[in-house]
Amino acid sequence: MTGPSRRVKLACGAFAALMLGGYGLTAQPIGEAMMADADAWPSWGRTGDETHYSPLHEIHTGNISALKLAWHFDLPPNYSPTTPLAAEGKIFFTQGHGHIRALDALTGKLLWEYDSGARDRTTSRFQLSWGNKGVAYWDHKVFVAAADGLLIALDAANGKEIWKTRDFPISEMRTMTGPPRVFAGKVLIGHGGADVSPIQGYVSAYDAETGKLAWRFYTVPNDPSQPATTKAEQVMRPTWKGDWFGKDGVRKAGGGTVWNAMSYDPALNLIYLGVGNGFPYDHLKRSPGGGDNLFLASIVAVNADTGEYVWHYQTCPAEQWDCTSTTDMTLATLKIGGKDRKVLMQAPKNGFFYVIDRTNGQFISARAIAKVTWAKGIDQKTGRPIENPGIRYQGKPGLFELWPGPTGAHSWAPQAYSPQTGLVYVPIIQQGALIGDGTTGGPIQGIGVKLVPEADLPGGRHAFLRAWNPVTQTLAWEKKLPGAWPGGVLATAGGLVFQGRLDRRLMAYDARTGREVWNYPTDAPVQGAPISFRMNGKQYITVITGPGGEGASTRSIGGEAWRTDYRLTRQVLTFAIGGTDGFKPTALPPLAIPADPTFKPDAALAAKGEATFIRCMGCHGNRAVSGGSAPDLRYSPMIVNALAFRQIVKGGALKANGMPPFDDIADTDVEAIRFYLRTRSKLAPAEVAAAIKLVREGK
């Protein structure tokens, strides 16, 4: 354990529950010191290196059979794909679009909660927001990024507001879903929105004590008619060509949002940003003159003090497949070619696993970790992808098979790295898509392409946990998982790897071999990553159950074999050796297809409804197959009642239940959505049976 051996036992206030032998905290200021404390879990990846690794080893492969539930805390039905934090004797976590709770880490007792009110301030933003994935902690403060752009600092002792600031106007089509980070005394936050709008992506850094903006880094260029005043602008601007910006100062192309991944190396004083896709998707619509379009789909290193550009590495030049680089960036020191190299490791959405020198951005190696058809490989000299012929779909008829699809081979679910084994444990999605030139058909959400994001392709519908050797770029072992959406990963010094699954189980594997050593049935699926902490000399494992994120909206292929339901109780589960909580998971609630005797098929009306339903899929699922974040509308009696359905969609009749009004949707489109849902309802029984059959056949 790091830090002085003298402990300070305090009763109440900001240091409540820091007991003797507890989190290892002393009376000195908490910040970087807690990042180094093995007993705590104060950040999304535990530390700035984002390894999702705990040095604790009291729970290990030899005694894990005695791991039992110590306590549980029930949560209301809401998004909960979140990774909690453990600090000051408390568990901190967020749910929904900015609702924080603090629990006693030993008992699970609710200590305080805070609602940011984001749900009441916005409606249409929910079509691009899958809920919060985490909070940040620093020096007795907890930070939450509300979905509508408010960054809020709370007193960790009581949940009282210390400061709050708005990162972007509520009128802009941006949303915060990823967890904030606190690096070098600054709160960093990015946002999403580049799937639906030509926004200019950026990351903001705020002083953790005052909330004052310290710096802001933009990831795509400014108006080219204005001077290029920063080094980053001078690097980016030549890579966007033609009439890309638009007239009268109104941007028509952009993107590059940093909605998830950030890492920090205090020795190098560098912060690493994982940058997302462009808008529109079609490269030549976005940048008619071509060009690589920096910093889309890139890893960018900036100075932690000033936010100034240092280096970049682009994983997908001229990106046009939603191949973002927004997945975890894990920092480690590896022996490569007989030398110790400070590396950054990432398995982005494009299907390759990259090892980059984090001191200068130099490419070291890359290899496919999943099924890939857009590229043959990565040129080991230049670090650029070797694209397959035909993958540039502009001006070509038909649809092209794309692996990975827009969900990516790896999305936001955290990977973990164990310095014990030298392996990276990556949650992998194996799902393809069909994509084509959007000029020959109606583009989905205006992204500029034709897209079938969850095409029913052979070999799809699967997920894996893959243990990857980053030095040799080879697979050590893998576990095939139920469904097509894997949960986040925790690795520990006890030689264990923990991961939640779609079929409502928390699993533990031997980190070296992949042998299953323990599992626990949960009430709801698990998508967030587990964490580990120690109090009073005892190690605990905590995980939050419940769906959310893209996994809640992309369950329509294969996942129906493992049904979930928004009515299932989400929970905070904490385990310890010898735990005594006797909780038993509940059965799935019943579902029934509503009687609809007047229904008559109408393919044109159903197609119109399907196009508009894209706005609903974030909550209610692609093809109306809910992943458990909201009701499965194929089974809703409201779809057979035109008036009731319109009152819900446009009038806000169920706003109190979490369904905001969408009064900008035309009545004719509302009716088309309703007809589409009635059509999908008729098909549901056969589709569920087919999904179960595929699983039984091992397909």
The parent domain of residue 192 ranges over 13-577
Task: Establish how many alpha carbons lie within 13 A of residue 312's alpha carbon, considering only the half-sphere containing its beta carbon.
Answer: 25
Regarding whether 273 and 232 lie in a shared domain, the answer is yes
Instruction: Give the residues across from 140 on adjacent strands.
Output: none
pLDDT for position 678: 92
Mean pLDDT is highest, among 22-31, 284-293, 457-466, for 284-293
pLDDT for position 15: 33
pLDDT for position 4: 31
Instruction: Please report whether residue 1 resides in a domain.
Output: no
Per-residue pLDDT band at 122 (split at 50, 70, 90): low
322 is catalytic: yes
150-154, 187-191, 263-267, 429-433, range with the lowest pLDDT: 429-433
Angle at 169 between CA 165 and CA 172, to 5 degrees: 145
Average pLDDT over residues 627-637: 87
Query: Taking the model in full, what pTM does it have?
Result: 0.91
* DSSP-assigned states of every residue in 549-604: SGGGT--SSSGGGS---TTSPEEEEEEEET------PPPPPP--PPP-TT----HH
Regarding whether 329 and 198 lie in a shared domain, the answer is yes
More confident residue, 368 or 25: 368
Q: Which of 560, 577, 594 is the last residue of a domain?
A: 577
Regarding whether 483 and 382 lie in a shared domain, the answer is yes
Average pLDDT over residues 140-169: 97
Instruction: Please report whether residue 213 resides in a domain.
Output: yes
Match 């009441």 to its residue by tokens: 120
173-177, 279-283, 395-399, 499-503, range with the lowest pLDDT: 395-399
Amino acid letter, 267: A
Instruction: Please report whether residue 549 resides in a domain.
Output: yes
29-33, 262-266, 520-524, 680-684, range with the lowest pLDDT: 29-33
Q: Is the dihedral of CA 194, 199, 205, 211 positive or negative?
A: negative
Is 409 within 8 Å of 370 (Cβ atoms)? yes
pLDDT for position 647: 94
pLDDT for position 16: 35
Per-residue pLDDT band at 435 (split at 50, 70, 90): confident
* DSSP classification of residue 444: G
pLDDT at 650 over 50: yes
Average pLDDT over residues 581-595: 86
Per-residue pLDDT band at 131 (split at 50, 70, 90): confident
Cα separation of 521 and 644, whole Å?
38
Cα separation of 320 and 385, whole Å?
13
638: left (phi over 0), alpha (psi -120 to 50) or beta: alpha
Regarding whether 174 and 59 lie in a shared domain, the answer is yes
Regarding whether 344 and 240 lie in a shared domain, the answer is yes
Instruction: Please report whether residue 608 resides in a domain.
Output: yes
Q: Which of 543, 577, 611 is the last residue of a domain?
A: 577
pLDDT for position 453: 64
Task: Tell how strand 496-501 and strand 385-387 pair up.
Answer: unpaired
**Who contacts 74 (Cβ-Cβ below 8 Å, separation ≥6)?**
569, 570, 571
Regarding whether 490 and 638 lie in a shared domain, the answer is no
Regarding whether 611 and 484 lie in a shared domain, the answer is no
Regarding whether 334 and 185 lie in a shared domain, the answer is yes
Q: Calculate what percentage of the chain has a pLDDT beyond 90.
A: 66
Reduced to 3 states, what is the DSSP secondary structure of residue 279? strand
Instruction: Please report whether residue 18 resides in a domain.
Output: yes
Q: Residue 650's domain is classified under what CATH number?
A: 1.10.760.10
pLDDT at 446 over 60: no
pLDDT at 2 over 60: no
Interval 106-118: pLDDT, tens: 999 999 999 998 8
Per-residue pLDDT band at 579 (split at 50, 70, 90): very high
Structure tokens at 4: 């002085």
Interval 661-683: pLDDT, tens: 888 899 999 999 999 999 999 98
* Nearest Cα residue to 345 out of 402, 419, 404: 419
pLDDT at 138 over 60: yes
Residue 677 phi, psi dihedral angles, 5° rounding: -65, -35
pLDDT for position 6: 28
Regarding whether 607 and 573 lie in a shared domain, the answer is no
Distances in Å between the alpha carbon of 339 and those of 342, 417, 569? 10, 20, 50
Structure tokens at 600: 């008559």
pLDDT at 569 over 60: yes
Catalytic residue among 37, 148, 265, 322: 322
Structure tokens at 268: 């190098």
pLDDT at 639 over 60: yes
67-76, 413-422, 450-459, range with the lowest pLDDT: 450-459
Regarding whether 533 and 632 lie in a shared domain, the answer is no
**Who contacts 521 (Cβ-Cβ below 8 Å, separation ≥6)?**
504, 505, 585
pLDDT for position 555: 55
Distances in Å between the alpha carbon of 322 and those of 272, 316, 569, 608? 20, 9, 33, 25
Arithmetic mean of pLDDT over the chain? 88
Per-residue pLDDT band at 559 (split at 50, 70, 90): low
- Going across the sheet that includes 85-87, the strands are 85-87, 90-95, 99-104, 110-115
Interval 233-252: pLDDT, tens: 999 999 999 999 988 878 99
The domain tally of the chain equals 2
* Nearest Cα residue to 462 out of 489, 428, 487: 428
* Nearest Cα residue to 258 out of 222, 226, 290, 216: 216
Q: Which of 559, 577, 595 is the last residue of a domain?
A: 577
pLDDT at 21 over 50: no
**Who contacts 630 (Cβ-Cβ below 8 Å, separation ≥6)?**
552, 566, 619, 620, 621, 658, 659
Structure tokens at 250: 């109104």
Per-residue pLDDT band at 19 (split at 50, 70, 90): very low
Q: Residue 249's domain is classified under what CATH number?
A: 2.140.10.10
Q: Calculate what percentage of the chain has a pLDDT beyond 70.
A: 89
Chain length of the chain: 699
* DSSP classification of residue 12: S
Per-residue pLDDT band at 17 (split at 50, 70, 90): very low
Per-residue pLDDT band at 23 (split at 50, 70, 90): very low
Instruction: Please report whether residue 327 resides in a domain.
Output: yes
Instruction: Please report whether residue 654 resides in a domain.
Output: yes
Q: Cis (ω within 30 of 0) for the bond into 464?
A: no
Distances in Å between the alpha carbon of 36 and those of 32, 33, 119, 180? 7, 5, 36, 19
Per-residue pLDDT band at 37 (split at 50, 70, 90): confident
pLDDT for position 439: 61
Instruction: Please report whether residue 582 resides in a domain.
Output: no
Per-residue pLDDT band at 699 (split at 50, 70, 90): low
pLDDT for position 558: 53
59-68, 395-404, 467-476, range with the lowest pLDDT: 395-404
Burial of 474 (0-12, 13-18, 19+ CB in 10 A): exposed
Q: Which ranges of 447-586 does DSSP label H, i.e. alpha helix?
A: none
**Who contacts 168 (Cβ-Cβ below 8 Å, separation ≥6)?**
149, 174, 191
Q: Cis (ω within 30 of 0) for the bond into 404?
A: yes
Regarding whether 552 and 611 lie in a shared domain, the answer is no
pLDDT for position 125: 56
Q: Is the dihedral of CA 598, 603, 605, 610 positive or negative?
A: positive
Is 171 within 8 Å of 193 (Cβ atoms)? no
Reduced to 3 states, what is the DSSP secondary structure of residue 399? coil
pLDDT for position 462: 85
More confident residue, 118 or 198: 198
pLDDT at 22 over 50: no
**Who contacts 488 (Cβ-Cβ below 8 Å, separation ≥6)?**
52, 83, 413, 414, 427, 499, 500, 527, 528, 529, 530
Regarding whether 86 and 235 lie in a shared domain, the answer is yes
Angle at 232 between CA 31 and CA 227, to 5 degrees: 130
